[in-house]
Amino acid sequence: MILRELSEAFGVSGNEGDVRAIVLDAVRGHVDAVKVDALGNVLAFKRGTGRQRMRVMLAAHMDEVGLMVVGHDNDGFLRVKAVGGIDPRLLPGTILQVGSERIPGVIGVKPIHLLKKEEHEKVPKLEDLVVDIGAKNKDEARKLAPLGTYATFATRFRELGPTVSGKAFDDRAGCAVLVELLRGERFRFDLHAAFTVQEEVGLRGARVAAYAIEPDCAFALEGTIADDIPKDKDISPTTELGKGPAITVMDRSFIADRRLVRLLTSTAEELGIPYQIKQPGVGGTDAGVIHLTRKGVPSVTVAVPCRYIHSPVALLSLDDFNNTVRLMRQSLSRLTRRALEREGSETLERERSET
């Protein structure tokens, strides 16, 4: 499955080339046009059957969180900074791949035998951690991994019964859903897919992609937080594994368009597709910048719930993944321009000779 390839690709923000190559390969022959824009977004166009004159944008980000080399110790260790949100608690002892040559590295860790009591109880700071690539000294470290070299987790994709595990499901899960949608039948409207760059560092690629596409509405496809794991207190989870695609009504980056939320929930209910509403107020996605593009773009986010995102290994349910593809496909086939008209205003009809 395409998710395996996407998950194992090396694509920390600003360095999405490997993911881009996989995406271009996967959609070729299934779309009418595809290009790579100035920032590196993949923009694919699939013409509609013409029965709805409308431009619909689907976005999924190609980048993942990771590390960047910012210094070298005399002993040959690398100093790193985070690219995107990384929890330093997860880092000691993890295995990395460093640079385009994918040099294996280990995040150095003091053996438990030597830990002082206070060190036991303290979370290490990222600036105190080192990456060990086996270099003998500073010069060798510099040569193998110069300043600015990217590093990511060296995690293989695995099938675990009805679930799969791997790195970067945020947002390679969304990328895989988008690839599946592009490989299917045409919709009634023109579909503009954007596989975006640099989401994890501030929704940067989506900003220019949405400007170029000028969509009438947009769907951000994501892998989102499933925190249905044992907790101290009875806090309701953001989303749960196995309960279907998660629909966002509000997060830190935007408030979803209620007409699009309704389209998704009514489609799911009609067809018996499980779905869940993501706990409001948590996280942010490309929709955060897309909805503010030009004169405004009604937007919504649909996500595959993933446990342990932004960590070396995440886990998702294949049922959730397949139901996300199905819910999106069925909802899009019901989407009409009329559904987006505001009461009391003219229709969305525009001077759109180019479509």
CB of 18 to Zn ion, least distance (A): 18
Residue with smaller CB distance to Zn ion, 303 or 325: 303
**Range 291-350, binding Zn ion (CB under 5 A):** none
Task: Check: CB of residue 187 under 8 Å from CB of residue 48.
Answer: yes
Interface with Zn ion: number of residues (CB under 5 A)? 2
Task: Check: CB of residue 109 under 8 Å from CB of residue 92.
Answer: yes
Residue with smaller CB distance to Zn ion, 170 or 190: 170
Give the x-and-dash track for 174-213 against Zn ion (CB under 5 A): ----------------------------------------
CB of 283 to Zn ion, least distance (A): 8
Nearest to 11 by CA among 170, 222, 134: 170
Task: Check: CB of residue 34 under 8 Å from CB of residue 42.
Answer: yes
CB of 195 to Zn ion, least distance (A): 12
Task: Report the distance separating Cα 40 and Cα 8, nearest Å.
Answer: 19
Considering Cα of 125, then 126, then 130, then 133, what sign does the dihedral take? positive
Q: Is 55 helix (H, G, I), strand (E, B) or coil?
A: strand
Give the x-and-dash track for 67-106 against Zn ion (CB under 5 A): ----------------------------------------
Residue with smaller CB distance to Zn ion, 260 or 314: 314
Residue with smaller CB distance to Zn ion, 170 or 320: 170
Q: Is 257 an interacting residue with respect to Zn ion (CB under 5 A)?
A: no
CA atoms within 13 A on the CB side of 319: 10
Q: Which residues contact 331 (CB under 8 A, 6 or more apart)?
A: 263, 264, 267, 268
* Token digits of residue 187: 């919709």
Residue with smaller CB distance to Zn ion, 248 or 267: 248
**Range 122-181, binding Zn ion (CB under 5 A):** 170-171
CB of 109 to Zn ion, least distance (A): 28
Task: Report the distance separating Cα 178 and Cα 180, nearest Å.
Answer: 5
Q: Which residues contact 202 (CB under 8 A, 6 or more apart)?
A: none
Phi/psi for 49 (5° steps) reads -75, -5
In 99-237, the DSSP E strands lie at 103-107, 131-132, 150-153, 158-160, 163-166, 190-196, 217-225
Q: Is 301 helix (H, G, I), strand (E, B) or coil?
A: strand
CB of 223 to Zn ion, least distance (A): 6
CB of 333 to Zn ion, least distance (A): 26
- DSSP 3-state helix, strand, coil percentages of the chain (rounded to 5)? 30, 25, 45
Considering the candidates 8, 64, 180, 199, report the single residue annotated as catalytic: 199
Considering Cα of 321, then 278, then 202, then 156, what sign does the dihedral take? negative
Residue with smaller CB distance to Zn ion, 40 or 105: 40
Task: Report the distance separating Cα 104 and Cα 292, nearest Å.
Answer: 41
CB of 204 to Zn ion, least distance (A): 13
For the question of residue 240 being annotated catalytic, the response is no
Residue with smaller CB distance to Zn ion, 13 or 276: 13
Q: Which residues are catalytic?
A: 199
Return residues touching Zn ion (CB under 5 A).
Answer: 170-171
